Each structure stands twice: as structure tokens, then as C-alpha cells.
Amino acid sequence: MELIYFTVAGIALYFAADWILERIETARGVRFEYRSVIFFCIILALALITFQIISQLKPS
């Protein structure tokens, strides 16, 4: 069951990171030159936080 949680969280994080990056670029008014690097940093930060929360919530 834990595998399903991580998979669903990963899919949700992908769309969340894309949405966050789009908001930042819209506020900035121009696309970033190294968009993929910034996307990676956003999704990495979100994944570390989310996966830690999932790990803490699972029963021992």
C-alpha cells in the first residue's frame, strides 16, 4: 500500500511543481533559461517534504 501512496504523491508533485513554476514565470513575465533545473529543484524540495510525511504516517 505504501508504494501506491508514493506513486500517487509523485504524480501529484509533478503537476504541483509544474503549476508552481508556471506561476513564478507568469509573475516574472518571461520564461527561465534553465527551466528544467528550476523544475527539478522545486519537485525535489516538494518530494523530500512529502515523502518524509508519508514515511512518518505509515504504521510501524
Identify the sign of the CA torsion 13, 39, 37, 24. negative
> What residue ranges do the domains of the chain occupy?
2-57
Average pLDDT over residues 1-27: 94
Average pLDDT over residues 10-20: 97
pLDDT of residue 8: 94
pLDDT for 2 beyond 90: no
pLDDT of residue 60: 67
CA distance 39 to 52: 20
Q: What is the pTM of this model?
A: 0.85
Written as nine digits, the cell of 41 is 529543484
pLDDT of residue 59: 76
